[in-house]
A and B are shown apart, each in its own frame.
Chain A
């Protein structure tokens, strides 16, 4: 049928359930909607006012139609006289009244004879007044409806905003263990598309079904009074309809979940593609990326298509049943009408209005039947939409249900002051518990000391430091500050006490000053500049077009790695914390700059506990202690002299590898 379906795609119409595509149990389905209440609750007053206003408008409409129908059709168009109440409503005089007191009766009879009718002038007058009345009601409704619609948007946006922000907050606090397996595009999709489903909850599960259900039951009741045969036929027709709905419900949910999953994958594809765009360009991978994008895009579109196919097919089958019932009703009632059979509850005229099947009864049954069936179809539509919503809500709540691994203890205390000592005791940790990265680490660092962490790539140096920030908690063993276990400290207070210059040099697309002050509240320009000077960043910042106010590119683009590294260091320095961690702070700096930065940092770090992860000998040698890491274990610990004294020591070998190069260069001289 189309290019899309010709492409090899991972989804065809045939439905194969996979384990992560389970449909919701009825209990879970109900629970999902109940769970939306806490997010709706803060707006309950607004929701109530809005629903009432909507209801009020409906009533005004019904009332206006009721009033106008008789006045217009029978009075204006035909010319009958008005009822007393109608005369009062339109502020007319008694000459319009159908039943008039004796004294004025003569004048009417003079003109119209025995059947009192309105004059042409009077009919025009009634019409004019009716139009004025309608105009007033119309203006009121036309003013109110958009206002109510706007109000609705405002309320629902607040509901959605609340859910979004709650989700963001949860996502921000989820441990990196979660994030390292999650994709950013997926979070974007959940925050936007999935969370938006909450805006429809009130209308789809309360307002719309209530009206439709009311109509269905009322119509069904009246139809039964006309003829129980019809009632039985409808019940007979409803059984396969219900069966169809029950059969389709899990299919709709599975389709909806696929549509959402594939679209979220597509979002991730774009996000990752552009995050790595330079790599893509450099490797001429754009045709391959485009092809993958196109495939993901088609897969997502196919999934969305099949969700709609499912929904349309179900609707179509139900429509067929409904159509058959309508035709059958028409056939039966037309036959009864021609035979002039009595209606079922002929005696109770008040309820049915017709004793025998006649034209009026036929018309009444026709309109009741379509009301009954069309409202029934509306319920099916709502049900279909609810399945999609439930899946969206499920995906939103999934994020909220994730408990951060790292949480504050109930009686957590702030970080102690002053900080004197940090101790690692028998710490073991692995991102995947089966593959430990750190094994039985013991390490202590005192205030006023610099600890260098040295070791081969992948030996666990950065991980060791991320445990100190409680980005992860150790699998066993403990880390303590002044003897207090980290798990007893408030996470926010802990992280406020530790500044880190990251190896990845993550910068944000804002101004230079904002980037330096990123992790510090209320910091003035002088402090920012001072920190930049410590990091030797001030000099290049001043040459930039707007100095400290220069906006950086995406992920800090436009700067060289060495410049980014220095901003990253300045960001750590400006926080003025008792603990400082530098992760490969100078790897991309030239020797001269490195020298100056390190000298500044040594001066600045006097009363602090400093950890430096580095390969540079010049940095290592100045450390008070050196922890040499290999395969997640500290194999040697001590200062430069001590470690060099170990013959055949690992550190010694490491140093000689470096010195070899240097001596080679010296020999040239």
Chain B
């Protein structure tokens, strides 16, 4: 439904994002993201060090496997004596060489076979990896990213190396996505309105798994790349001395050249990654919205329309993924050009020497091999910065929400206990971020033991007023005092521990009724659950369910009627047993008898508590100790039913008469 536009300025929202609209970042900011990713490693020091050690160990077998075939060929098959070998063995081969010196070829073969068997168990042959099939878009590749792990070797070391790395990848992801989840749950109410659910799913499930890659790309990968290059250099130096120092210089020059070629791509690489992910998130939004509201979609006959919408979004996300491919191809061209150029140069350089008779033909392979491996390392270093951009773009999307101003919970601020004195609202105005004025000049004092009804036409600001108490909204002007303390200067968690808020919408998790109630109060006993359900008038129908309180509810409680869900939500509000209870139109879907019973039960249960009810029903309102009548964000009348009705021109009286008139 939201139009997919291709105009690419960072400030106009593309895709579905309403919060995360400024998605461009500079190279400097990437460095900042990198820094934060590296700090994450601090959470998993043991695993990271183990990985480092095991990876280093994994290099060693390669050194032996290179030389063993030489011994087999020269000293076994061709039956040369070890002492007669022309090229000297490198120092690390000395122990083995000492053992086989003076042995017959057959004995040498036996020794070598024994060594190979030991090596096989310790380091195996070849690498280890666990890589499963993935799809052709960013989201479906997260699984492999999150569980990436492997080793250059196998055997016992390879096994440990891979397992450690998988766990390391998983821990990094888990750490980041749990933090993200927590922060998103703490966004202010006004921000949450603009936060898409599918987007949250995408960021937690598919963006966060890009963090291990980010960590490896600046730590393990370059380290082992450089170690590899150094080994190549060492071997070249060992065997060829200073025959071709130019080769080393050329290989070294490749690094800046590669960076020069690749770095200009970095902004583009980030952009296509970001777009692919944003398009994926938009697809997730479409699926989530469509299937999450399936009963509405089917009732309204919107199935075809929803299918088309998801089709369009999914297509777009695939298309955006292909843009990543194109950038990668361009990059490949650029770096391959360098690499091929170098290979040609090495070929010409080496063959010139060989033709001139300065080197033997056999040397070409060795030189060429070493040179390409050096060049490959250089180009790899050049490309890894670009690959990093893909991870950076994804991780930025995670950090965006972690950094978004969330409610200051003020851990250091003083805590409040149960309401003992009063909630005072003093000279409060509230204006929404988009400029809508919701409340004007509100003055109100609420005491424990009171049942206060907030009444008024729709859109008068009733909910906004109630939101002030648990500080879901902070006043634009004036202040809210909880037992004399400004709500901005107390620990928010402790404040909210004192307030239960029952919403107009009735959302339940697809878990058991018990789990739904325990969600808000883990300590609730069976008796408390029973009491809450009874007070909310839900016990009867809950008992009629096949498994009673352990009945698993369908999605969002779909198999219950709206009125039943509403009563479960009220029970959930009651079970926390807080000193302030706010019910926001709790009874709209209840029939009058049920409602009367409920309000009576509430009055009984809520003795000594402050109960605020937003309601339209006269039957509810009349039972209130005080009625706050709100119109256009201003309080026009306060008092009990009797007092307010005695004002012949009162707004409240007019309101009641209309209601009564309807009935009468």
Q: Which residue from A195, A283, A322, A458 sits with its C-beta under 8 Å from B519? A: A283
Bound-state Cα–Cα, A157 to B223, Å: 36
Contact A466 B124 (CB under 8 A): no
**Nearest residue, chain B, Cβ from A552:** B193
Chain A residues whose C-beta falls within 8 Å of the C-beta of B459 in the assembled complex: 540, 560, 562-563
- Asked if A503 and B589 make an inter-chain contact with CB atoms under 8 angstroms apart, the answer reads yes
When the two chains form their complex, are residues A160 and B659 in contact, meaning their CB atoms are under 8 A apart?
A: no
Given contacts A263-B143, A323-B116, A338-B79, 14 further A-B contacts (CB under 8 A): A160-B137, A179-B558, A192-B139, A281-B472, A284-B497, A301-B147, A309-B163, A435-B544, A504-B562, A554-B196, A558-B193, A591-B616, A591-B661, A617-B662
Interface with A: B258-266, B309-317, B601-609, which one? B309-317
Q: Which residues of A184-231 have CB atoms within 8 Å of chain B's CB atoms?
A: 184-185, 187-188, 191-193, 195-197, 199-200, 204
CB distance B174 to A666 under 8 Å? no
Q: How many residues of A contact B (CB 8 A)?
A: 182
Distance between B131 CB and nearest chain A CB, rounded to angstroms: 8
B65-92 interface bits toward A, Cβ cutoff 8 Å, 1 = contact, 0 = none: 0000000110011110000000000000
Q: Note all chain B residues with C-beta closer than 8 A to A284.
A: 493, 496-497, 520, 576
Nearest CB on A from B340, distance (A): 6
Q: In the docked arrangement, what's the CA distance between A495 and B192, Å?
A: 33
Cβ 8 A contact of B594, one of A457, A593, A659:
A457
Least Cβ distance of A547 to chain B in Å? 13
Q: A176-B558, A188-B288, A283-B520 are in contact. Are A330 and B299 (CB under 8 A)?
A: no
Cβ of B167 and Cβ of A4 under 8 Å apart? Answer: yes
User: A595 contacts which chain B residues (CB < 8 A)?
Assistant: 658, 662
Whether B355 and A124, one on each chain, are in contact in the complex, defined by CB atoms closer than 8 angstroms, is yes
Q: Is residue A410 within 8 Å, beta carbon to beta carbon, of the partner chain? A: no
Q: Is B435 an interface residue (CB 8 A)?
A: yes
B659 touches A281 (CB 8 A): no
Q: A156-B136, A164-B314, A176-B294 given as contacts; is B287 within 8 A of A188 (CB)?
A: yes
The answer on a CB contact under 8 Å between B663 and A668 is no
The answer to whether residues A179 and B291 also contact, given A286-B182, A301-B170, A554-B194 and a CB cut-off of 8 A, is yes
Cross-interface CB contact of B294 among A179, A298, A466, cutoff 8 Å: A179
| Structural contact, A271 and B592, CB atoms closer than 8 A | no
CB of A373 to closest CB in B, whole Å: 9
How far is the CB of B160 from the nearest CB of chain A, in Å? Answer: 9
CB <8 Å contact, A594 and B559: no
| B-side interface mostly | helix
CA of A179 to CA of B660, assembled, Å: 42
Docked complex: A584-621 residues within 8 A CB-CB of B: 584, 587-595, 615-618
Check if B336 sits within 8 Å of A142, measured CB to CB. yes
Most buried by A among B117, B508, B559: B559
Closest-by-CB residue of B relative to A118 is B355
Instruction: Given A77-B361, A615-B592, A658-B592, decide whether A168 and B307 contact each other with a Cβ distance below 8 A.
Output: yes
Cβ of A588 and Cβ of B585 under 8 Å apart? yes
Given the complex, which residues of A lie within 8 Å of B596, measured CB to CB?
A: 657
Count chain B CB atoms within 10 A of each CB in A157, A184, A200, A571 and give the residue with the most. A184
B173 touches A554 (CB 8 A): no
Q: Is A451 close to B, CB under 8 A?
A: no
Measured between alpha carbons, how far is A457 from B566 in the docked complex, in Å?
10
* Distance of B291 from chain A, by nearest CB (Å): 5
Cα–Cα distance between A518 and B290 once the two chains are bound (Å) = 12
Name the segment of A17-25, A46-54, A90-98, A506-514 touching the other chain. A506-514
Q: For residues 170 through 202 of chain B, which have their beta carbon under 8 Å from a beta carbon of chain A?
A: 170-171, 173-174, 177-178, 181-182, 184-186, 189, 192-198, 200-201
Across-interface contacts of A3 in B (CB, < 8 A): 44, 171
Q: How far is the CB of A20 from chain B (nearest CB, A)?
A: 15
Q: Is the interface of A mostly helix, strand, loop or mixed?
A: helix
* Cβ-defined contact, B655 with A518, below 8 A: no
Q: Report B258 CB to chain A, min CB distance, Å.
A: 17
Name the A residues within 8 Å of B109 (CB-CB).
331, 334-335
Say yes or no: is A442 at the interface (Cβ < 8 Å to chain B). no
Q: Which residues of B570-604 are within 8 A (CB) of A?
A: 572-573, 576, 585, 588-594, 596
Contacts of A669 on B, CB cut-off 8 Å?
A: 645
Contact of A456 with B591 at beta-carbon distance under 8 Å, contacts A153-B325, A324-B120, A592-B658 already known: yes
In the bound complex, CA of A191 to CA of B167 (Å): 27
Chain B 321-344 residues near chain A, CB threshold 8 A: 321-322, 325-326, 329, 332-333, 336, 340, 344
The verdict on A77 contacting B351 (CB below 8 Å), with A271-B201, A275-B507, A338-B79 known, is yes
A185 with B201: CB separation less than 8 A: yes
Is the pair A204, B133 in contact by a Cβ cutoff of 8 Å? yes
| A447 contacts B by Cβ under 8 Å | no
Most buried by B among A308, A557, A571: A308
Q: Which of B186, B291, B299, B560 makes the CB contact (< 8 A) with A466?
A: B299
Residues of B within 8 A of A297 (CB): 174, 177-178
Q: State the Cβ distance, B153 to closest chain A Cβ, in Å.
A: 11
Q: Which of A1, A183, A327 contacts B510 (CB 8 A)?
A: A183
